[in-house]
Amino acid sequence: MSNPEDDATTPRVRAGVDQPSSLNPSWTPKLRRTNIQAEEYIRGILQGDRVRLSQAITLIESKQTQHQELAHTIIEGCLPHSGNSVRIGITGVPGVGKSTFIEALGQNVSSQGRKLAVLAIDPSSQISKGSILGDKTRMAKLSANPQVYIRPSAAGDSLGGVARKTRETVILCEAAGFDTLIIETVGVGQSEVAVHSMVDFFLLLLLPGAGDELQGIKRGIVEMADLVAVNKADGDNQQRAKRAAADYRNALHLFPPKSSNWEVQVLTCSALSGQGIAEIWHLIEEYCTFTKAKGFFQGQRQSQARYWLHETIQQFLQEQFYHHPQVATLLNERETEVLAQRKSPFHAAEELVKVFLGLEK
């Protein structure tokens, strides 16, 4: 049986870095030395070995070609064993109490015998090389819970890259037996779209601040939510939280119905006191039953897989294009001409793509 303390042996690797070999030199040579094959990883993961799981995730995060190839093989070995889970996305502006909420929900979930993995997509970690989940003290109880696995956000040079790594991590966690996945992100922009496209259920946490609150949150994010939870409904805030929930409920009527036909709920809760947390978990289970009965649950996962296939094709094409040496040189020149109204953006685009594909010198 694995122990949560096992993870503590590879803390710097778990912080999610692009070049683990340079940050954690002790580990990669060990990998080479023991020449562990993909089969061993897969067997370890399927047996719920967390050290093996953590190491495999580090391979996913690595930029080294040999690591990536090994990771592909491991993932494809785990894929047939993945999927038996509920994937929950959680977002909200900084200060809304996401960590405390995830602690409360996570403790509730694990007390029911479920195995929980908490992941994160944090675009800001691209800059800081840190992570919103880096500080384990943020979720002290969950970190000490043997049913729970916490993995900080991967770093990367693009949101697409970070999202890809997180989605592949989901596969490995599921193969390792985690049946409940929480993917956290901050409510500031594109990262929500990435999380939304890899989860079954999307939860938006809000503060009891009524309508003004929505100002800080992109409209599209509200539209993605399956549940809006007004957190910090404790003490003096209880009445304000109820009023805010009523306001949101009215506002949500203006939205088109969801393709799942699920009616978006608005609840109040207090991650601090635990009020409302059980109801929220109950609602998530209800959602799963509702959408599985109609085939929507599985259908959405298939659409998501298709989405990531085509989204990644686009990402790779653009990466290759913008890193092409000749294109990079010409691009600035063409952009200047476009902005000076000397060249049409379409003509400039056509010329650059031809250069990229070697159709023009």
Q: Which residues face 121 on adjacent strands?
A: 185
Candidates 63, 72, 114, 258; binder of its own copies (CB under 8 A) is: 72
Is 101 in contact with 231 (CB distance < 8 Å)? yes
Residues 288-307 interacting with its own copies (rule: CB under 8 A): 302, 305-306
Does residue 98 belong to the site contacting its own copies (CB under 8 A)? no
d(CA 143, CA 166): 19
Of 1, 22, 65, 219, the one binding its own copies (CB under 8 A) is 219
Using the contact rule CB under 8 A, the part of the chain among 77-85, 122-130, 141-149, 231-239 near its own copies is 77-85
Phi, psi of 97 (to 5 degrees): 95, 40
Q: Does 76 sit near its own copies (CB under 8 A)?
A: yes
CA distances from 180 to 48, 84, 89, 172, 183 (A): 14, 9, 11, 13, 10
Q: Which residues contact 12 (CB under 8 A, 6 or more apart)?
A: 23, 24
**To the nearest whole angstrom, how small is the minimum distance from the Cβ of residue 57 to its own copies?**
14
Q: Where does this chain touch its own copies (CB under 8 A) — which range of 26-34, 79-87, 97-105, 131-139?
A: 79-87
Within residues 137-196, the interface with its own copies by CB under 8 A covers 164, 167-168, 171
- Are the CB atoms for 118 and 151 separated by under 8 Å? yes
CB count within 10 Å of CB 307 equals: 13
Closer by beta carbon to its own copies, 113 or else 257: 257
Cα separation, 306 vs 222, whole angstroms: 24
Work out whether 249 is an interface residue with its own copies (CB under 8 A).
Answer: no
Taking the mean position of all CA atoms in its chain, how far away is CA 266?
Answer: 23
Q: Which two tokens stand for residue 184?
A: 């956290």
- Structure-block tokens of residue 198: 């890899």
Judged by CB under 8 A, does residue 321 bind its own copies? yes
CA distance 361 to 349: 15
Q: Which of 113, 236, 253, 332 binds its own copies (CB under 8 A)?
A: 253
Residue 76 Cβ vs its own copies, minimum distance, rounded to whole Å: 6
d(CA 35, CA 58) in angstroms, rounded, equals 16
Residue 209 is encoded by which pair of tokens? 């601040």
Q: Interface with its own copies includes 350 (CB under 8 A)? A: yes
Q: How far is the CB of 273 from its own copies (least distance, A)?
A: 29
CB count, 10 Å around CB of 191? 24
Shortest reach from residue 245's CB to its own copies, in Å: 15
Binds its own copies by CB under 8 A, chosen from 218, 240, 242, 258: 218
Closest approach of Cβ 74 to its own copies, in Å? 10
CA separation for the pair 27, 55 (Å, rounded)? 9
Torsion of the alpha carbons at 208, 269, 148 and 115, rounded to the nearest 10 = -130
Does 273 engage in binding with its own copies (CB under 8 A)?
Answer: no
Residue number, 11 or 345, with CB nearest to its own copies: 345
Q: How many residues bind its own copies (CB under 8 A)?
A: 58
- Which parts of 117-136 interact with its own copies (CB under 8 A)? none
- Which of 14, 151, 196, 334 binds its own copies (CB under 8 A)? It is 334
- CA distances 224 to 69, 101, 180, 216, 297, Å, are 34, 19, 20, 16, 15
Site for its own copies contains 8 (CB under 8 A): no
Q: How far is CA 265 from CA 84, 222, 272, 293, in A?
A: 25, 12, 21, 19
Smallest distance, Å, CB 218 to its own copies?
A: 8
| Binding residue (CB under 8 A) for its own copies from 23, 79, 252, 278 | 79
Select the residue interacting with its own copies from 11, 328, 347, 360 (CB under 8 A): 347
Minimum distance from residue 132 beta carbon to its own copies (Å): 23
- Can you give the binding site for its own copies, defined by CB under 8 A? 72, 75-76, 79-80, 82-83, 164, 167-168, 171, 211, 214-216, 218-220, 223, 251, 253-257, 302, 305-306, 308-310, 312-318, 320-321, 334-335, 338-339, 341-350, 352-353, 356-357
